[in-house]
Chain A
Amino acid sequence: MNDLTALTLAEARDALKSKSISSVDITRAHLDAIERAKGLNAFVAVTAEKALTMAKASDARIAKGEAGPLEGLPIGIKDLYATLGVHTQACSHILDGFKPPYESTVTSQLWRDGAVMLGKLNMDEFAMGSSNETSYYGPVASPWLPPNWSADKARAALGGDKRGLLTPGGSSGGSASAVAARLCLAATASDTGGSIRQPAAFTGTTGIKPTYGRCSRYGMVAFASSLDQAGPIARTVRDAAIMLRSMAGYDAKDSTCVNSPVPDYEAAVGRSVKGLTIGIPREYRLDGMSGEIEALWGRGAEWLRAAGAKVVDVSLPNTRHALPAYYIVAPAEASSNLARYDGVRYGLREPGGDITELYENTRARGFGAEVRRRLMIGTYVLSAGYYDAYYVRAQKIRTLIKRDFETVFADGVDAILTPATPSPAFGIGEKGSADPVEMYLNDVFTVTVNMAGLPGLVAPAGLSAEGLPLGLQLIGRPFDEETLFAIGETIEQSAGRSKLPDAWWA
Chain B
Amino acid sequence: MSVDQAAVRRIARLARIAVTDAEVPHLQDEINAILAFIEDLSAVDVEGVEPMTSVIPLKLPMREDVVTDGEIEPLILANAPLTEDGFFLVPKVVE
Interface residue ranges, A against B (CB under 8 Å): 97-99, 101, 211-213, 226, 252, 255-256, 258, 318, 321, 324-325, 327-328, 335, 339, 342-349, 352-361, 363-364, 367, 372-373, 375-380, 383, 389-390, 392-400, 402, 435-437, 440, 451-453, 478
Contact = CB atoms under 8 A, between A and B. Distances in A.
Given A98-B79, A355-B90, A360 B58 contact: no
B11 A359 contact: no
Given A347-B81, A349-B82, A360-B18, A327 B52 contact: no
Given A363-B18, A364-B19, A395-B53, A349 B30 contact: no
Interface string B46-82: 1001111111101011010000000010010011111
B91 A324 contact: no
Contacts of A375: 15, 17
Contact of B56 (A343, A360, A478): A478
A65 B89 CA distance: 52
Contacts of A392: 51
Given A256-B58, A364-B18, A379-B15, A393 B46 contact: yes
Given A397-B41, A397-B46, A478-B56, A346 B79 contact: yes
A5 B16 CA distance: 46
Given A258-B56, A363-B15, A392-B51, A355 B91 contact: yes
A356 B16 contact: yes
B91 A358 contact: yes
A396 B81 contact: no
Contact of B14 (A226, A383, A394, A452): A383
Contacts of A258: 56, 58
Contacts of B18: 357, 360-361, 363-364
A212 B55 contact: yes
B80 A346 contact: yes
Contact of A367 (B17, B51, B79): B17
Q: How large is the interface on B (under 10, 10 to 19, 20 to 34, 35 or more residues)?
A: 35 or more
Contact of A393 (B14, B19, B42, B63): B42
A397 to B, nearest CB: 6
Contact of B93 (A355, A376, A398, A478): A355
Given A379-B14, A393-B46, A345 B88 contact: yes
A437 B63 contact: no
A126 to B, nearest CB: 14
Contact of B80 (A327, A344, A361, A394): A344
Contacts of A478: 56
Given A101-B78, A376-B12, A396 B51 contact: yes
